[in-house]
Structure 1
Amino acid sequence: MAIIGRRQQQGVAAAAATLVALMAVVVAAAAEAQPSPGVYPSRMFRAREFGRDFRSLWGAEHQQQEAAAPETGVTVWLDRRSGSGFKSRRAYRSGYFGAWVRLQRGYTAGVITAFYLSNGEAHPGWHDEVDMEFLGTTPGKPYTLQTNVFSLGSGDPPRSLGREIKFHLWFDPTADFHHYAILWTSDHIIFLVDDVPIRRYGRRSAGGAAGFPARPMWVYGSIWDASSWATEDGRYRADYSYQPFVARFSAFLLRGCSPHAPRTCAAPVAGDLTAAQLAAMRWAQRFHMVYNYCYDPKRDHSLTPECRTHLHPSSSSSNSSSSSYHG
């Protein structure tokens, strides 16, 4: 009887182990399977001509329009001499702004490729900014996509109050082009990856105008050396034996309201998310968010009112992936 009992226990243990393994496979599959957002703004608009809508801001010798699509694409690169940046010729007070981007594989530590909105030149030391930054990495580790929002100089020294939320993407961003976009309305800022909303930042939750960009901004792209902080808090720096570091942008989408447009002018895509979009955002935040400033115990959350509704006594992890977070 004792032998039979032991065999039964071993069988139960084996079955339990198999069940746990199967559950792990199911969870992993759920994490990798991108849900359909149901709405695809990247397909709604015609791509803009790079030369018509953008100009070189710095490092012009480190830019080249794509030979296959000179009207829509540009390649920028970083080497020992310089990086590169470009800027839209027009400012916008709201809109939908997107681009297809392909990043460099291999050793890219310390290097940042960015697609963002800003008015830093118009308001130096007191500017607004909305960022999508790809933080370089070392072989075998994924890129980190950092989203951030600054308002009324919150990103300018000595304040430097960031609202960073970071993600590891569910695909290899070096294998092909993927679409990254910012939707900026009077009430919300929504970050999207391949049309999946990954973050929503609301004007009301941010404490109104004080925490929400409302002044006209331009659209920028750049590649630059941020070795002091970009990769694992500066542990790994740019190694120029791997130069040039290259980023490719293609098929820019710029649809928005100019600063002098009538008040009736609105962003071409609604800021309200559908049930499918909300479900897709919860998936992205649950399985792919790796850092959320609202859950960082080192941060002073009295300065970020949008965090108050999401913090609770058990929220002690700085990389919590709360699926209810919309900040």
Structure 2
Amino acid sequence: MPLTLVEMDRGDFARRRAPMIASYARAIAAPRGLTEAEAAAEAARDVAEQLPRGPRTRGQFMRKALVGGAEVGWIWVSLPGTTRPDSAWISDVEVDPPFRRRGYAAAIITAAEAELASRGVRRIGLNVFGDNDTARRLYDRLGYELTAQQRARVLTEVAPAPGIELAPMLDYERRIAALFADYAQDLVQEQGLWHGEAESRAARKRAELLPEGLRTEGMLLRTVVAEGVPVGWVWAGPPAPPRPGLGWLHNIEIDLPFRGRGHGRAAIAAVEAELVRRGVHRMGLNVHGMNLGARRLYERLGYELLAQQMTRQLPAR
């Protein structure tokens, strides 16, 4: 029998709300380094903020899936202009336990994509957590492409970094300006922002993360020195919302003339050692989906996948 999508009403949402929050809490606990109680509170807060009027919240697309009159699952999509400016975002999709392993997840997503495309939506994205291998395989089959990953590892065995020193940063302003210019360009390419908005957002992000610049409390901003020669720079930070259980490697860059000599791996080890000295025992990082070399390096270093973001273009209708 064909699967159809029907608008959720308030009763549907009331029935689904508690299981949705519980499922979301389980998904975010490990990636964000949260306790069960913290994850539950964070999940409830996120749902309340994003869906203040339930299925009638402006900019949200919520549908239940029916097959032969039986409800088999549901989907929640944030429309363009909410989570992303020019892209819809699959905030949640669920198939109810009695109906799993029948291909309904793919059918629900395909039906939602068709309805969105008919409304003129041209791009859709999603987040999938690292332990959900089944979902990642499904999205691969449906044509979703990887855009970014978040990875982390426990810092219990930190290898030494011979020949590498993390020295006081010499050229902070130039390095940070270039980094946030690249970030603005990524917003243009990946989220469809126009250049002015992307630059404004990048400036706000910089002010949020580095309010005191080089002197921002807790931030590790260092020049990477190999055998007395500056070869790049690193930026790491302490645990902070929304990942209170993770130190975070914001950026590592080895200058072009010095690449391919193992300096990147050694600089990561030096950062890990410094975080351990500061009492931080888990570090996370973001890696661009197209950066296959970096993804392979972090896998070899034991960084496990926390989550990844994927997108695909929708056909014109």
- Whether TM exceeds 0.5 here: the answer is no
TM-score normalised by L of structure 2: 0.29
